[in-house]
Structures are given as C-alpha cells and as structure tokens.
Structure 1
Amino acid sequence: MSITLWTRRDPFAEFDALVRRSFGPVATRPAATSPVATRSFRPAAEVTRDGDDAVVRLEVPGVDVEKDVTVEVADGQLVVHGERRDERTEERDGRNFSEVRYGSFRRTFALPEHLTADAVTASYDAGVLSVRVAGAYAAPAGAQPRRIAISTGAAETPAVTTAEEQTA
C-alpha cells in the first residue's frame, strides 16, 4: 500500500518566490555600502504629443522635486536628473524590507535642433513630473517645404524645388 501526500498550491507564495528569485537580494535592505544599495532607479517615462508640443511625463513619487530634481537643456537634449533619497531611520526587529529603489537617475530625450531652453516648462503633481516642450513638432521658422523629384531613369539627376517654384 502506498501513501499519497497531497499539498495545496499557493499561487501567491509561488509569485513571491518568483519575485525574490528575479530580483535577488533587493527584498532585504542591504547595508548602505553594499553594491545593491547603490543601485539607481529609472523612473518610467511617457512622451506624448499635444498639438505642436511634446509632453514628457516621468513617474517620480516620493522625490522632493524642488531639492532633488533638475531639468536642463544641454547639447540638443532634454536632461532630467535627480535622486530619490532614503531618509527613513525606523527599524523593526532589526530587519527592513523594501521593494522601493533609491538612488540617482538620469533620463535624456533628443530635442529638435531649432528648440532652446525657453521652449521648456516643467510642473509636478501627484508624483508625476511633466515637462512640456513647446513647438517640438512644429517646423522651424523660415523653413519651407521642399519637394524632392523622384527619378525613374538610370541617368537622370533629381531636381530639388521649393513649394513656391512648384505653384508658379
């Protein structure tokens, strides 16, 4: 006679084990000097179009944006960098548990050549930093559309004409 042992599956425990295996020692707070503690986090970003403007949204909850976040335009790029600080001092039973990442971050986004820092504004609300780039999708001032002729023969050279020449 054989004895069969039945065990009940716990999907939540399986998921917890999967997360712990995937992210390793992050589940327990490491010492401040360990390499795990110095890992940075990368805030989620979303870039959307609002008319001719581009709107960049970054999720940075728990960050003091006035003190710890900088928005700059440098070398044709929008640069957002800052730091999420762990300022907690509370300790329970000598062990801490945290799945929140702390550290510095830096996100860069390419800007059209014709934009300057004057076209950029930023605001913060409910953990989301919104950066509006005015005119990001607008054609630069003075630029005229140009039509490029399509050649179909082997020896033809395509001609370049402006929109004004085409209507004349």
Structure 2
Amino acid sequence: MAIAVRGSVWDPFTALVRQMDDFDSIVRRAFGGGSGGTTTGFVPAADVTRQGGDVLITLELPGVDAAEDVDVEVLRNRLVISGHRAEQTKAEQDGVLVRELRSGAFRREFALPEGVSADQIDAEYDRGLLRVRVRDVVRPADRPTKVAVRTADRPAIVDTGGSGQE
C-alpha cells in the first residue's frame, strides 16, 4: 500500500527556518526589539503591601538619580510615579550590540481612596529601591466588622470591634 501526500512536500530545512524566525520574533518582542527597530523604556517592578493603616509601595529603580529623575505626585485620586533612567554605556563586540539594562521614561499609577492627599505621602530612595508610604489609608471605621454565622444550636454574635457589645 502506498501513501500519497498531495499539495506539498515536507522540507525539514524550511520548517527549521520558520521555527527560527518565530523564535527570533519572540526574543525581539521580549527584549524590546519590537517592530521597526524601536525599543521601549522599562517598567519598574512594584510591591504593594499594607503595614497597619499604611500602604507601602516599593519600586525597583536601580541606576536612577531619584532626586533629579523621579517625580511622585497625586493626580485625581491616583498616585503617579514617573521618571527617566539614563541610557547605560553601550558594549559593542564584533558588530553586535549587547544591551540588557533598560533605559528611558517610565510611569506607574496606583489608585488612591477618596480623600487621600499629598500630605499623607512620603517617598524615600535607598539602594535602588523607591519606597512610597501612604499614611492612614485604612482607618478604623473602614476596617471590616466580623459577622458570625448563625447555626441552629447557637445565635449569631457580632464583633463590633472590641466595644464589648453582643
């Protein structure tokens, strides 16, 4: 019995070239090659944590002159952190440019609750980390009140935040 393949001939080298083109495209997009040879700036990584009633936002900004190149501002209930990281030196070897450190402008925005003002915000830069503290974001009245689930054998008891009432 003979098997006939119609319409195309499988060429392992053509398939390999197509796979390499796909791989190159993925690498270019991941490392800022993009289309047209333009590169994009970087987006600094951020951690947002709670510390009591405060919120602490930590951004990784190594190689940034925070005093000159970083702005922290409140704009329409949003915390906006923007700036610029200067381009690092270029290393060229055998006609190949190697650059892994991103440079350029960046901007990160974080939603703020109603009523938070710039007076409640402190920013500090140390060892490549920008720490922005938003004080008194969670007020005692905003904290959740625990509600017990009522079952057939016991009535529900509501915790009113330690006032001693049931």
- TM-score band (shorter)? 0.5 to 0.7
2:26 is aligned to: 22
SS in 1 for 2:97: coil
* RMSD of aligned alpha carbons: 3.2
Structure 2 unaligned segments of length 5 or more: list them: 1-22, 146-164
**C-alpha contact (below 8 Å) 1:119/1:135 kept by paired residues:** yes
Aligned match of 1:122: 123
Identity rate of aligned residues, in percent?
42
Unaligned segments of structure 1, at least 5 residues = 1-18, 148-166
Q: Say yes or no: does 1:110 pair with 2:111.
A: yes
What is the CA–CA distance in structure 2 between the aligned matches of 1:52 and 1:40, rounded to whole Å? 34
C-alpha spacing 1:25/1:94, structure 2 compared with 1 (3 Å)? farther
TM-score, length basis structure 2: 0.62
3-state DSSP of counterpart to 1:57: strand
Q: Which has the higher contact order (CA 8 A, sep 6+)?
A: 1
The CA deviation at 1:61 is: 0.6
Match of 1:10 in 2: none
TM-score normalised according to structure 1 size: 0.61
Do 2:32 and 2:38's aligned partners in 1 also have CA atoms closer than 8 Å? Answer: no
Q: Specify the alignment match of 1:81 in structure 2.
A: 82
Which residues in structure 2 correspond to 1:56-71 (within 5 Å)?
56-71=57-72
